[in-house]
């Protein structure tokens, strides 16, 4: 009788385990490949390009940004991949340029067909109202290097480089067109069919055209302002943020 009870208990546990395993949902990975461009050319750090319309020679030596609320959309429901992260595209676009740009892999995603990917560039308002000291060590928002204490804002998008101004033959004048403050936060929708397969890796290419960052909707007057570091420059930041909104696809 005792052995029968033990066998019955074993059978019950085995059945529960099989049901549990059968109910386990299939998952896969998404590899987002961020690629910088300048017009119809791949963008390479330290390589010279022409500024839109006015044609001053310029080069980039850094580009980095916060990415937030990364979410896959589908008819079966949305899947949040990441709340906040920081991406530095500088090294991946320094000679020799990597063909795949910066590869950003996200794992453990429910295997299904998605219709789009949404994300923000910058730090959402609730988090941007906090300071690095409000986050635990190691958190992506705990570092002070990407925070403006005078603005009480993180630096959302950070392109830097050199440009030839005032008769310079070669780019020698530094530019740092930093975007920050809640007014510069922008949400992007990549409206593409994205199929996540069980145990597979799906590649998704996202391009950022830095020529459009200067002239996507409105030509930015870089001759007038090469550095953005003050609160009174928010109108200039909004011009660039609106340009960025059409530069990402």
3-state SS class at 107: strand
Q: What are the tokens at 240?
A: 């660039």
Residue 78 contacts residue 71 (beta carbons within 8 Å): yes
Helix/strand number for the chain, H first, E second: 4, 15
Q: Which residue has the tokens 């392109």?
A: 159
User: How many beta carbons lie within 10 A of that of residue 69, not counting itself?
Assistant: 14
Q: What is the pLDDT of residues 116-170, one digit of tens each?
A: 999 999 999 999 999 999 999 999 999 999 999 999 999 999 999 999 999 899 9
Q: CA 9, 15, 17, 19 torsion: positive or negative?
A: negative
How far apart are the C-alpha atoms of 46 and 116, rounded to whole Å? Answer: 34
Tokens of 1: 């009788």
Residues 9-36: pLDDT tens digits? 444 444 444 444 445 789 999 999 999 9
Tell me the β-bridge partners of 41: 38
Average pLDDT over residues 104-125: 97
Whether the CB-CB separation of 48 and 171 falls below 8 Å is answered with: yes
């Amino acid at each position: 009788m005792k052995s029968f009870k033990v066998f019955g208990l074993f059978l019950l546990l085995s059945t529960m385990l099989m049901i549990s395993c059968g109910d386990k949902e299939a998952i896969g990975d998404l590899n987002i490949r961020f690629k910088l461009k300048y017009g119809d050319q791949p963008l390479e750090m330290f390589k010279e390009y022409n500024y839109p319309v006015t044609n001053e020679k310029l080069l980039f030596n850094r580009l980095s940004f916060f990415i937030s609320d990364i979410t896959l959309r589908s008819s079966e429901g949305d899947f949040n991949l990441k709340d906040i992260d920081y991406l530095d595209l500088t090294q991946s676009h320094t000679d020799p340029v990597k063909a795949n740009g910066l590869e950003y892999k996200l794992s453990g995603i429910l295997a299904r067909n998605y219709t789009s990917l949404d994300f923000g560039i910058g730090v959402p308002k609730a988090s941007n109202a906090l300071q690095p000291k409000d986050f635990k060590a190691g958190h992506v928002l705990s570092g002070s290097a990407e925070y403006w204490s005078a603005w009480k804002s993180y630096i959302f998008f950070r392109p830097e480089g050199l440009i030839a101004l005032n008769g310079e033959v070669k780019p020698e004048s530094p530019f740092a067109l930093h975007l920050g403050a809640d007014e510069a936060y922008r949400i992007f929708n990549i409206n593409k069919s994205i199929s996540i397969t069980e145990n597979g890796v799906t590649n998704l290419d996202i391009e950022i055209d830095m020529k459009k960052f200067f002239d996507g909707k409105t030509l930015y007057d870089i001759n007038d302002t090469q550095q953005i570091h003050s609160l009174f420059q928010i109108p200039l930041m909004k011009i660039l943020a609106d340009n960025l909104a059409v530069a990402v696809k």
